[in-house]
């Protein structure tokens, strides 16, 4: 590798750290999440390929933190946005697109009756919590502690290592439970009778539900008068259409969507049952909830993107392709792992549509150092992948090239297991994004 392969990226990264706390505006995209020998800044993307500011090309996985499901600069979406931008993007009264997208989205969700749009998942889940508190008259919120991120708002961040600046009084209102541990959920309800406004969780991450866990959680919520809130930011329009609630036959009171819904444009949605959602309006005689009112919450170009994306989903088998291409990748990588005898040290987890890789050291323990080494080696071979999450644009040739790159990376990985990872790692290790100190 030539010493100047990332010259411009590194210059821009140094400048970014002087101007932006953490060096970028999304922590999980930061320099500390990638090897030192990695592209620091992206110039452009097309389909599943991206080019950094130094002109290096990569097949990308993860795709904008799972937000770009169709592919970068997907022509139909770009054209819808371009057309709308030419007509203006923000007015003093609502746009007809707000109604059209509301009808389109709710058409995928037969049990939901109302929707409110905004720009990101954190704001949406925070609105769900506020709405649940208003509807129930309760203050406490139960959340699944095994799912890593629900919101940058105080109700969630106060329960993490990154709780600086958040009053303890707020943190104490959030109650953690464990995934696939129904006893931990029962215990919360028993210890906080009549006090839990909402239980919020994702339906699934790396581990699937066991022993009818999700249905039992939903039943406990109904029994205790607690709103069941499903975070579908990742699972929505990726597990199935519309999401994991269909996969598992769930009927959430409120659901939070985003990411795949607009192919990378800033758009998210809180959907739910009318008797709850209407508290954010004024056609009722209860105390009104100030629910999701932002200047840019319904920018018309983002709404146009959402309409275009949902149109693609109606006509084409997007989700089937995600599962099919993910399966091709998983099977290809697992075959190499088996041939090389690395099953105790490297693995693939998650659904085929949402794959992650698992790196372990010579003792079989999860390892950030080996994660860094693996990313370093696939980057050398033209793959940019903090995960193996595919898009609709990943073709067979992209998957096969990735499998070949993984083979080369794992050859180095195997040597590091014998010789020590420090011998092969070029620079410092990546670090957890939610650590307390730098």
Give residue-wise pLDDT tens across range 365-397: 999 999 999 999 999 999 999 999 999 999 999
- Whether 367 and 259 share a structural domain: no
CATH number for the domain including 40?
A: 3.90.1150.10
Among the listed residues 12, 13, 9, the one whose alpha carbon sits nearest the alpha carbon of residue 52? 9
The two structure tokens encoding residue 132: 């649940």
Task: Give the largest Cα separation in the chain, rounded.
Answer: 71
Regarding whether 236 and 382 lie in a shared domain, the answer is: no
Alpha helices (H) along 213-299: 213-223, 244-247, 274-277
Q: Hey, what are 128's tokens?
A: 């769900």
Domain count, the chain: 2
- Please tell me whether residues 141 and 260 are part of one structural domain: yes
Q: Minimal CA–CA distance to 291: which of 140, 153, 124?
A: 124
Question: In this predicted structure, what is the pLDDT of residue 216?
Answer: 98
Asked if 412 contacts 378 with a C-beta cutoff of 8 angstroms, the reply is no
| Residue numbers of the domain that contains 366 | 7-73+317-423
> Are 275 and 332 contained in the same domain?
no
pLDDT for the residue numbered 143: 96
pLDDT 10s digits, 396-410: 999 999 999 999 999
Locate 73 and state its tokens.
């600069």
Average pLDDT, the chain: 95
Strands (E) in 277-402, as ranges, are 346-349, 356-359, 383-384
- DSSP secondary structure code for residue 430 in this structure: P
170 belongs to a structural domain: no
Specify whether the backbone of 15 is left (phi greater than 0), alpha (psi in -120 to 50) or beta.
alpha
79, containing H or E segment = helix 75-85
333 with 285, same domain: the answer is no
Per the CB < 8 A criterion, the answer to whether 158 and 129 are in contact is no
**pLDDT (0 to 100) of residue 3:** 56
- Can you read off the two tokens belonging to residue 18? 């002087």
pLDDT band at 161 (very low <50, low <70, confident <90, very high): confident
Query: What is the per-residue burial (b if ≥16 Cβ within 10 Å, else e) of 37-58?
Result: bbbbbbeebebbbbebbbebeb
One domain for residues 97 and 66:
no
pLDDT at residue 28, as a whole number: 86
Task: Tell whether 109 is covered by a domain.
Answer: yes
| pLDDT of amino acid 438 | 66
The domain boundary, picked from 246, 265, 298, lies at 298
**CA gyration radius for the chain?**
22
Whichever domain contains 134, its CATH number is 3.40.640.10
On whether residue 171 sits in a domain, the answer given is: no
Listed in sequence order, the residues at least 6 apart from 64 whose beta carbon sits closer than 8 Å to its beta carbon are: 264
Which structure tokens are listed for 346?
């490297």
Identify the weakest region by mean pLDDT among 80-89, 162-171, 203-212, 342-351.
Answer: 162-171
pLDDT at 97 over 60: yes
Note the pLDDT tens digit of each residue in 343-361: 999 999 999 999 999 999 9
144 and 279 co-located in one domain: yes
Of 250, 269, 298, the residue that ends a domain is 298
> What are the tens digits of pLDDT across the range 37-65?
999 999 999 999 999 999 999 999 999 99
| Alpha helices (runs of H) in 341-384, residue ranges in sequence order | 368-380
- pLDDT for 279-337, tens place per residue? 999 888 888 898 988 999 999 999 999 999 999 999 999 999 999 999 999 999 999 99
Q: Of 61, 15, 27, which Cα lies nearest the Cα of 149?
A: 27
Residue 381 domain-assigned (yes or no): yes
Same domain, residue pair 110 and 27: no
Instruction: Assess whether 321 and 291 both reside in one domain.
Output: no
For the stretch 175-189, what's the b/e string if a residue is b when 16 or more beta carbons lie within 10 angstroms of its beta carbon?
bebebeebebbeebb
Return the pLDDT at 156. Answer: 86
Q: Verify that 68 and 120 share a domain, yes or no.
A: no
Q: Which of 270, 298, 326 is the last residue of a domain?
A: 298
Q: Which residues make Cβ contacts (< 8 Å) with residue 355, sequence separation at least 6?
A: 326, 329, 330, 348, 349, 387, 388, 389, 390
In a domain, 431, yes or no: no
Does pLDDT of 148 surpass 90? no
Residue located via tokens 């980057």: 379
Same domain, 256 and 293: yes
Model confidence band, residue 226 (pLDDT cutoffs 50, 70, 90):
very high
CA angle 366, 369, 373 (to 5 degrees): 115
Q: Are residues 408 and 354 part of one domain?
A: yes
């Amino acid at each position: 590798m030539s010493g100047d392969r990332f010259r411009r990226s590194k210059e821009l990264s140094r400048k970014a750290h002087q101007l932006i706390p953490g060096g970028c505006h999304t922590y999980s995209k930061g320099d500390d999440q990638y090897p030192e020998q990695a592209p620091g800044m992206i110039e452009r993307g097309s389909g599943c390929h991206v080019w950094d500011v130094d002109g290096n090309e990569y097949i990308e996985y993860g795709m904008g933190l799972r937000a770009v499901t169709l592919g970068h600069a997907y022509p139909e979406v770009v054209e819808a946005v371009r057309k709308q931008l030419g007509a203006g993007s923000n007015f003093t009264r609502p746009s007809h697109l707000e109604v059209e997208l509301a009808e389109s989205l709710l058409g995928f969700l037969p049990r939901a009756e109302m929707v409110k749009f905004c720009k990101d998942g954190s704001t949406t889940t925070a609105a769900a919590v506020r709405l649940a508190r208003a509807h129930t008259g309760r203050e406490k919120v139960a959340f699944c502690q095994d799912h890593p991120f629900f919101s940058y708002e105080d109700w969630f961040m106060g329960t993490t290592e990154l709780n600086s600046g958040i009053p303890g009084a707020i943190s104490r209102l959030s109650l953690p439970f464990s995934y696939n541990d129904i006893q931990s959920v029962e215990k919360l309800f028993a210890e906080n009778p009549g006090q839990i406004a909402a239980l919020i969780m994702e339906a699934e991450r790396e581990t699937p539900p066991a022993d009818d866990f999700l249905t039992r959680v939903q039943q406990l919520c109904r029994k205790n008068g607690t709103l069941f809130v499903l975070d579908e930011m990742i699972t929505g329009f990726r597990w199935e259409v519309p999401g994991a609630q269909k996969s598992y036959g769930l009927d959430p009171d409120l659901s939070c969507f985003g990411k795949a819904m607009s192919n990378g444009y800033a758009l998210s949605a809180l959907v739910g049952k009318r008797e709850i959602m209407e508290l954010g309006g004024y056609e009722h005689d209860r105390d009104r909830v100030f629910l999701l009112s932002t200047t840019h919450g319904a920018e018309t170009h983002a709404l146009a993107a959402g309409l275009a994306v949902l149109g693609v989903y109606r006509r084409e088998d997007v989700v089937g392709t995600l599962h099919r291409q993910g399966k091709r990748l998983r099977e290809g990588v697992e075959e190499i792992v088996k041939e090389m005898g690395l099953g105790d040290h490297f693995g693939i987890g998650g659904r085929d549509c949402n794959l992650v890789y698992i790196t372990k050291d010579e003792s079989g323990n999860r390892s950030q150092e080996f994660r860094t080494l693996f990313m370093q080696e696939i980057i050398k071979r033209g793959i940019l992948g903090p995960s193996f999450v595919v898009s609709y644009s990943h073709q067979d040739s992209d998957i096969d090239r990735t499998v070949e790159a993984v083979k080369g990376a794992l050859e180095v990985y195997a040597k590091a297991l014998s010789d020590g990872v420090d011998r092969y790692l070029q620079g410092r290790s990546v670090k957890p994004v939610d650590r307390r100190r730098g």
